Structure formats: structure tokens, C-alpha cells
């Protein structure tokens, strides 16, 4: 079968909720993938940062195979011998007391929202049914009905109402608006420390610190969604580390499974995460031993291969090399942190998609985001040589 055969099958049988580039991948290794025609591409998306450790990392692969031979699912009706080790490793690494495991990122966000509401009722004294949570414009936190209830993107919402109540939305990074939005019933502020899907938007220096202090002063929980920004992408373990702030809860996902398996989690304090009593929240697959074994190996790779430091170093290098683009009439702005760079094009460029198409022809896979931004987020294991080659292609395409 050839590329066009797979595409026509997909068009016939798959719900059209995505519009992928026309490349059919059959193999991946490190930062590279091969399509069914045998053509090789350098990946500059890393599955939205789920592949920080690169494709099919041998150490994670081995952990997965070994665990799959023993036991893969127990349900949490019983205990397993891997989940407690993941709890210990993740909490110690990030400096939190407890974790709650789920599968997808959206489930981790839902978990944090449920924890915040219950905390509001049981610890803050908010009247039943009144808890409110503040979220930010242009957020991306996933696709459930409750999560799209506080999205500001029409595509994510149109036709999916009625929506979940209890959310207030303010412009991202607008501290005065945040102060004004607080009510006595506000239990939490939810934000991405850097907004990924809306185009790698970095808030003003000091914003996260001010949010932290405001939350403490008003007895509200600070929830950071680090599903895309976390685990090394920005050149720090967590993006909130750039301002040395500690949220009350952090949502993790994507790279926690190293591209092998969906693993997500919420980490937080004992005070917050013990609001859940047995039976009040859960997931059949959440915390299964296969997921835990994969996540343990994913974290080991991140630390042992110094991927966080690599992201910082290679990110700074990439930013330098892209410097000449700043005077390119097609380019409005280049921004980012670590190996997470958005090249926003001017509206007259006619959208980022056609440049991603041209990049694909040159052997680089990147994805447009928010119509006008080319997102560069290669696996953190990428070599400097490969990164340079990929950047050469980008510079050529934008010429």
C-alpha cells in the first residue's frame, strides 16, 4: 500500500476531526520518522511534546516490554508494585507530597478542577454548588465538555453546549483583570505557564509570581497545566521554575508517557489531594502498572540524559540561528523558551500551513498553530547537527 491508499482509507473510515499533513509514518527513531515510501523526515513537533524523549526510546521500550510480560492492569481495586514507585519518584522530583494518576491530559485537568472544587467546599467554606474557577483566554486544557466550557476558541465549542457552569475568564497575563475577577467563591486559578496551542505565548516576567501571591492572599489554589510545557520542554523541569513559583497543583501528561503510552497525573499537597476519599474519583486504567513502568523509565531518561539542560542549550542556539528572521517581512514575531519556539507570521503571509507543507517537502515535519504561527518543538534528544539541518530548511522556506 502507498501513501494515497492509506489516505483514502482514512478519509473513508476515520471521523474527520483532524486535518493532518499528508505523510503516512511507519517508523520512528530519535528525532526522525520514515514514511511508507521510505522517505525520512526530521520531526519538529514531537507529538505536541509527548515525544520529548524521542521516538521509541530503547530504555522506555525495554521497560514497557518487561512490564508487559508480567502484569499490565490490575485496576485500583488491587494494588500493584509499580505505582507506589512512580508516586515516590514524581513527587520527589517535583517537590510535591502526593500524586493522583490518570491517563489523558484532559483527565488530569478534570481531576485538578474536581479537587479544587471539593477543597473549596471542605476547606475554604464555599457554599455548596457555588465554587468558581478563573481560567485564561486562548487557553488549551483539553476537549471534555467541562474543559471546553471555559475555552474561548469557537472551533472547540460550537455545537457542544450546554456547558459547565462556574468558570470566569480573563485575558492571559492580565494581572489587574485577575484581581478584579476574584470573588469570595473563587477556589482556584487555572493557567498554562506558557500557552502552547495558542502559539507559544510567554507571559510577562513576574506574572506567575504575582498569581502565586494573589492565590495565597485570597485562599485560592494555583493550578498550573504543565501538560505541554512541563518535563523539560522550556529548558526547566517545569515552566513555572522560570519564576521559581510553586503552584498548589500541577497537571502533567504527554512526555510522562514518552510517546509510548498515555500517562497523566496531578501532583499537589497532601492538604489538597486528600480531599478525595475512596470512591469519589478514579479511572479504570489510571495508575496501571504498565503506565507506571513506562512513566518511571520516561522520567529516568529525562534526568539521566540531561534532556532539560539540552532543551535550554539547544533552545538558545536555535533562537540565535533564527535571529535573521526577525528582519524578514513574512515574520511578525519569534518567541519561546527552551526548545519551544513559535514563529508568528504576518497575516499577509496567508497562514502558516503552507510553510509547514513546504517544510514537509524538504523533510521537516512541523505544525502550524493558531493559523499564523509555525511551532518548533523537536524531541529533546535531537542532535545539534540535526537541529541545525532542520533550522536550515526553515530559513530556506521563509526566504
Catalytic residues: 140, 225, 254
* C-beta closer to ligand PLP: residue 35 or 225: 225
End-to-end distance of the chain based on CA atoms, in angstroms?
A: 36
Number of neighbouring beta carbons within 10 Å of residue 122: 11
CB of 141: closest distance to ligand PLP in angstroms? 5
Question: In the bound complex, which residue of the shown chain has the CB atom lying closest to ligand PLP?
Answer: 105
Q: Which three cell numbers stand for residue 10?
A: 482514512
CB of 140: closest distance to ligand PLP in angstroms? 5
Site string for ligand PLP, 5-44 (x = CB under 6 A): ----------------------------------------
Among 149, 198, 228, 234, binds ligand PLP (CB under 6 A): 228
Nearest Cα residue to 231 out of 208, 202, 264: 264
CB of 105: closest distance to ligand PLP in angstroms? 2
Contact criterion met (CB below 8 Å) for 291 and 103? yes
**Interacting span for ligand PLP (CB under 6 A) from 63-71, 140-148, 207-215, 375-383:** 140-148
* C-beta closer to ligand PLP: residue 35 or 192: 192
- By CB under 6 A, tell whether 104 contacts ligand PLP: yes
Contacts of 162-169 with CB under 8 Å at 24 or more apart are: 166/117, 166/131, 166/132, 166/133, 167/132, 167/133, 167/134, 167/135, 168/132, 168/133, 168/134, 168/135, 169/134, 169/135, 169/136, 169/137
**Interacting span for ligand PLP (CB under 6 A) from 10-18, 67-75, 139-147, 342-350:** 139-147
Nearest Cα residue to 135 out of 220, 204, 75, 74: 220
- By CB under 6 A, tell whether 106 contacts ligand PLP: yes
* C-beta closer to ligand PLP: residue 149 or 393: 149
- Measured CA to CA, the distance from residue 32 to residue 386 in angstroms comes to 9
Among 193, 196, 287, 390, binds ligand PLP (CB under 6 A): 196
- Measured CA to CA, the distance from residue 258 to residue 314 in angstroms comes to 20
* C-beta closer to ligand PLP: residue 28 or 105: 105
CB of 198: closest distance to ligand PLP in angstroms? 10
Beta bridge partners of 335: 342
* φ and ψ at residue 106, rounded to 5 degrees: -55, -40
Among 141, 337, 372, 375, binds ligand PLP (CB under 6 A): 141
Nearest Cα residue to 138 out of 157, 153, 159: 153
- By CB under 6 A, tell whether 225 contacts ligand PLP: yes
- Measured CA to CA, the distance from residue 265 to residue 138 in angstroms comes to 23
* C-beta closer to ligand PLP: residue 53 or 228: 228
Per CB under 6 A, residues contacting ligand PLP are: 48, 104-106, 109, 140-142, 192, 196, 225, 227-228, 253
Amino acid at each position: 500500500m502507498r501513501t494515497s491508499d492509506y489516505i483514502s482509507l482514512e478519509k473513508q473510515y476515520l471521523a474527520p476531526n483532524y486535518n493532518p499533513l499528508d505523510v503516512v509514518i511507519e517508523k520512528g527513531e530519535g528525532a526522525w520518522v520514515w514514511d511508507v515510501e521510505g522517505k525520512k523526515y526530521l520531526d519538529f513537533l514531537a507529538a505536541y511534546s509527548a515525544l520529548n524523549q524521542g521516538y521509541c526510546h530503547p530504555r522506555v521500550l525495554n521497560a514497557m516490554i518487561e512490564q508487559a510480560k508480567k502484569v499490565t492492569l490490575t485496576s485500583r481495586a488491587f494494588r500493584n508494585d509499580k505505582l507506589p514507585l512512580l508516586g515516590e519518584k514524581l513527587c520527589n522530583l517535583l517537590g510535591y507530597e502526593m500524586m493522583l494518576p490518570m491517563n489523558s491530559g484532559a483527565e488530569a485537568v478534570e481531576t485538578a478542577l474536581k479537587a479544587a472544587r471539593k477543597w473549596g467546599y471542605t476547606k475554604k467554606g464555599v457554599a455548596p454548588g457555588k465554587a468558581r474557577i478563573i481560567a485564561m483566554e486562548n487557553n488549551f486544557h483539553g476537549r471534555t465538555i467541562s474543559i471546553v466550557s471555559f475555552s474561548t476558541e469557537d472551533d472547540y465549542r460550537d455545537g457542544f453546549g450546554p456547558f459547565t457552569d462556574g468558570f470566569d475568564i480573563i485575558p492571559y497575563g492580565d494581572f489587574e483583570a485577575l484581581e478584579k475577577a476574584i470573588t469570595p467563591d473563587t477556589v482556584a486559578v487555572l493557567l498554562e505557564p506558557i500557552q502552547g496551542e495558542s502559539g507559544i505565548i510567554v507571559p510577562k516576567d513576574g506574572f506567575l509570581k504575582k498569581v502565586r501571591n494573589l492565590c495565597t492572599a485570597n485562599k485560592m489554589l494555583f493550578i498550573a497545566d504543565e501538560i505541554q510545557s512541563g518535563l523539560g520542554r522550556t529548558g526547566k523541569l517545569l515552566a513555572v521554575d522560570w519564576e521559581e513559583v510553586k503552584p498548589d497543583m500541577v497537571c502533567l501528561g504527554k512526555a510522562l508517557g514518552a510517546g509510548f503510552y498515555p500517562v497523566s497525573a496531578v501532583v499537589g499537597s497532601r492538604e489538597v489531594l486528600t480531599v478525595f476519599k475512596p470512591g469519589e474519583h478514579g479511572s479504570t486504567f489510571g495508575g496501571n502498572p504498565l503506565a507506571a513502568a513506562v512513566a518511571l523509565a520516561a522520567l529516568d531518561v529525562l534526568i539521566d540524559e540531561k534532556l532539560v539542560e539540552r532543551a535550554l542549550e539547544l533552545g538558545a542556539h536555535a533562537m540565535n540561528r533564527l535571529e535573521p528572521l526577525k528582519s524578514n517581512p513574512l515574520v511578525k514575531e519569534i518567541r519561546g523558551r527552551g526548545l519551544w519556539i513559535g514563529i508568528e507570521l504576518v497575516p499577509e503571509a496567508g497562514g502558516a500551513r503552507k510553510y509547514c507543507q513546504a517544510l514537509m517537502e524538504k523533510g521537516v515535519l512541523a505544525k502550524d498553530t493558531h493559523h499564523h504561527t509555525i511551532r518548533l518543538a523537536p524531541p529533546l534528544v535531537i542532535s545539534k547537527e540535526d537541529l541545525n539541518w532542520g533550522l536550515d530548511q526553515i530559513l530556506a522556506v521563509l526566504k
